[in-house]
Structure 1
């Protein structure tokens, strides 16, 4: 009887340890490289940025995955996946010549790149008052505008609009401040990161009651997490799960709120 009791005790003590060890062993460490320059607001040298927020949420949502991050010059990021030194790199716009280094989502099965599985879109939209007739007929073309456009300080869209011949007020860093200018008629439109501008309208009735987004974006370019050919060959299903989970989280309100908090700092 004593021996039987002792056996049960040992099972109860060591079973959780075995399960814990098994869980730890099943976790796959995936090294991701990103460029060692500040690319606001997506990835920063201090480890912050919207892409890092998204990937950390993916990491937390997938217990079988642990991401490790390495910063390097962009050419080395690509070379690292080309040689299989690292499993992935981000964020890469689609270029045919980059397929020699690794795969975009979709290209790993011989299809075209799948924009639904992008990490982010560098998308900027125009925001106007609801009774305004200002429109964006095509990329970086604005019709019906008679006045200034407010753009967030430090963002590329301000310079792009100036280069296109538009008068730009880039004195404020926050889109909410620029929305205030629009409500006060100090500017005729606001250019903002689509992710941020749309989320502000969702969260703040004050702005949503008077401001609308122009359907056609000023700029919209998708960027992707690429994986090495070696990693795809080793665990294609896991790579596909990561791409899918990132897309799922990217569309969720929790991520949009966290991204909004980062942009409002």
Structure 2
């Protein structure tokens, strides 16, 4: 599947500023970057590798008060949707260094608080079947409510309120899967079926020796998502971090099938 991506951003700052951006589709397993262009006005870019070597991020130094970003890309998605139920989990003592850090609790994903719940509710299942059941439980029990959470909302609050947006769904999935002793990490992505159109957050789980995308909102699948970045939780995959207060003037994300 070929996706076209178009992002336009305009932020204003009270002083010259430096921001950290993660918004380019990654050249990574399961997707091929056919073309892309990125304009950041008069800001200067300083690039670094993304977490786990997935994609790139960059510092942008803004000499004035405005950051205007125009990003466009064409991406071929080559991965297919593999039924999770078919995939075994890796025994904990055999989990490799690549995946081991994503077993631990993180700032927004307090997975240690869910061990008893996971044992009681899903203890009869193993491997990918357990992950699939957790995904289905979240999709069935949470309500997608724009504005129901903010950047400080953690997974315990989401579990209690039973509502949130994509980042909250991804956090809850990561926390519950980690509680089952299966590595899970947060993923920033683009998807044509995300509504309303925006940067999207999903999860990746480590099963059968590889990472597999899982979207508990039901708005995307491995064959329709273009990965941007990965990390422990939303703190690591934010599309922008600003050192100065930021006033949003324009944010437009459009993703469509070609």
- Could you tell me the TM-score, scaled by structure 2's length? 0.25
Flag the structure with higher helix content: 1
- Could you tell me the TM-score, scaled by structure 1's length? 0.25
Flag the structure with higher strand content: 2
Kindly indicate whether structure 1 or structure 2 has the higher relative contact order, using CA contacts under 8 Å at least 6 residues apart: 2
